[in-house]
């Protein structure tokens, strides 16, 4: 639940923008009677138009800029379908109030950075949720970004070199009705060790490619699905569902690989996979030279998420069944109730894979007890 307080400072402490708004009210150009019941029902979270945690000049500026009809927008403080005098009066009454819509996290950036969230439709969808875009989970210090609700086609996206497995069919429409937060990076060795007290990873030493000081930022690996559950219980986080993971990976694309610097709309060209992923032909010369790399070293997707292809294959919450897509519900699919051979799903491929498993739709499965050196995970959380 949002945590809100609303101290009201004296008028003399408010910005020039606020004085201009008050002058307009005094002139009679922005005033209308406001029912007392509405005034008492609203909180600072309703008036925090820019979702930065505080009601102030930035919120007032945004409210004034969209004055008039504005159904569903953040500036419609009283939710009556328009931005007007009642909303302004509420904002002034709640001036200086604080709001934490994600009380488990510290807000890093309230609004999505257009240079990072390059998909315009996704950027607008994030803003429409009214939730902060980039946060840091207080329990784990993991940076997370908001993924908005949406609909996408889940399943087979073949690349120029690799076709699809039968487990990637049929392609089917999926709607995720709720926003969620997902780790911007794979969970690192440092983040795991801080909570668990030990590091199970194979790649704990420096190398020519990874200086010792950067080793803690390698993804944690040699973690089984069952091991991740202990970490998640200690932090209040969870694994993303398989549908959430693929939706987050695609970030508005329909291609085998998400957007790259050379292909902003995604690509099917395996030759470009090295722009977004550490993988066998991109980071290994064979055998012992294969190694994980510090997270965030390749290009992010259009949601600003890194390493969803390559580095380590990522456990998700679902059981693995190769025929599940034929019966998967179209809205918020939870995954099957049990798995083939008792397997759980892994996504994204890793440093010991060629480019095929790096594809958006590629599905892998393995025993939840298997703590392999190329298996890791990223986290998710509901707002």
| Residue from 94, 75, 92 nearest 84 by CA | 75
- The stretch 223-237 carries a mean pLDDT of 98
The SS3 of residue 284 is coil
Q: Is the pLDDT of residue 28 over 60?
A: no
- Tell me: the pLDDT tens digits for 118-134? 888 999 999 999 899 99
pLDDT, average across residues 307-315: 97
Coil vs helix vs strand at 202 = coil
Q: What percent of the chain has pLDDT over 90?
A: 74
Answer yes or no: is pLDDT of 12 > 80.
no
Say how many C-beta atoms besides its own lie within 10 A of residue 12's C-beta. Answer: 6
pLDDT tens-digit readout, 165-212: 999 999 999 999 999 999 999 999 999 999 999 999 999 999 989 999
Task: For residue range 336-380, list pLDDT tens digits in order.
Answer: 999 999 999 999 999 988 999 999 999 999 999 999 999 999 999
Give per-residue pLDDT as tens, 241-254: 999 999 999 999 99
pLDDT of residue 101: 80
Q: At what angle do helices 225-235 and 189-196 cross, to 10 degrees?
A: 70
Q: Is the pLDDT at 280 greater than 60, yes or no? A: yes
Backbone angles phi, psi at 105, to 5 degrees: -140, 165
Average pLDDT estimate for 23-42 = 44
What is the per-residue pLDDT for 317?
Answer: 98
The pTM score is 0.81
Q: What is the mean pLDDT of the chain?
A: 88
CA–CA dist 70, 72 (Å, integer): 6
Q: What is the pLDDT of residue 267?
A: 98
Mean predicted confidence (pLDDT) in 272-286: 77
Q: Is the pLDDT of residue 289 over 70?
A: no
User: What confidence category does residue 18 fall into, taking pLDDT thresholds of 50, 70 and 90?
Assistant: low
Strands 3-5 and 134-137: unpaired
Query: Do residues 239 and 141 touch, judged by C-beta distance below 8 A?
Result: no
Residue 262: both structure tokens together: 């050379």
Cis-peptide, bond into residue 328, ω within 30° of zero: no
Rounded to a whole number of angstroms, the CA Rg of the chain reads 23
- The mean pLDDT value for 126-152 works out to 96
Put residue 349 in one of left, alpha, beta given phi > 0 → left and psi -120 to 50 → alpha: left
Residue 108 has pLDDT above 90, yes or no: yes
Q: Is 204 exposed, middle or buried (0-12, 13-18, 19+ CB in 10 A)?
A: middle
Tokens representing residue 199 in the block? 């590091």
Residue 285 has pLDDT above 50, yes or no: no
Is residue 238 within 8 Å of residue 140, measured between CB atoms? no
Residues ≥6 apart with Cβ < 8 Å to 45 = 2, 4, 99, 101
For residue 22, what pLDDT is reported? 53
Cα maximum dimension of the chain: 77
pLDDT greater than 60 at residue 19? no
Ordered by where they begin, the domains of the chain are: 3-99 (1.10.1330.10), 106-381 (3.90.1580.10)
């Amino acid at each position: 639940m949002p945590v809100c307080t609303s101290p009201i400072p004296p008028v003399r402490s408010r910005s020039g923008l606020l004085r201009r708004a008050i002058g307009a009210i005094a002139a009679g150009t922005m005033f209308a009677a406001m029912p007392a019941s509405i005034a008492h029902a609203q909180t600072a979270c309703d008036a925090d138009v820019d979702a930065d945690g505080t009601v102030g000049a930035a919120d007032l500026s945004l409210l004034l800029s969209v004055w008039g009809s504005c159904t569903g927008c953040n500036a419609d403080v009283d939710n009556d379908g328009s931005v007007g005098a009642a909303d302004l009066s509420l904002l002034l009454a709640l001036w200086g109030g604080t709001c934490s819509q994600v009380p488990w996290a510290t807000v890093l950036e309230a609004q999505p950075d257009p240079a990072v969230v390059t998909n315009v439709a996704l950027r607008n969808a994030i803003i429409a949720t009214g939730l902060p875009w980039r946060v840091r989970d207080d329990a784990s210090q993991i940076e997370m970004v908001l993924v908005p609700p949406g609909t996408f086609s889940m399943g087979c996206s073949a690349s120029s070199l690799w076709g699809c497995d039968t487990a990637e069919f049929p392609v089917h429409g999926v709607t995720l009705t709720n926003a969620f937060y997902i780790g911007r990076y794979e969970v690192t060795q440092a983040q795991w060790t801080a909570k668990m007290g030990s590091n199970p990873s194979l790649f704990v030493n420096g190398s020519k490619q990874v200086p010792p000081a950067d080793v803690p930022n390698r993804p944690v690996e040699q973690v089984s699905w069952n091991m991740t559950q202990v970490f998640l219980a200690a932090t209040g986080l969870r694994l993303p569902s398989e549908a959430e993971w693929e939706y987050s990976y695609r970030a508005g694309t329909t291609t085998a690989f998400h957007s790259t610097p050379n292909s902003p709309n995604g690509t099917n060209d395996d030759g470009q996979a090295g722009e977004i992923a550490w993988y066998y032909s991109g980071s290994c010369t064979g055998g012992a030279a294969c190694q994980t790399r510090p997270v965030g070293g390749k290009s992010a997707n259009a949601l600003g998420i890194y390493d969803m292809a390559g580095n380590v294959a990522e456990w998700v919450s679902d059981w693995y069944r190769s025929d599940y897509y034929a019966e998967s519900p179209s809205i918020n699919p939870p995954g099957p109730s049990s798995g083939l051979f008792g397997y759980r799903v892994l996504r994204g491929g890793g440093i010991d894979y060629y480019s095929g498993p790096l594809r958006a739709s590629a599905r892998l499965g393995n025993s939840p007890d298997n703590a392999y050196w190329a298996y890791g995970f990223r986290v998710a959380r509901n707002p």
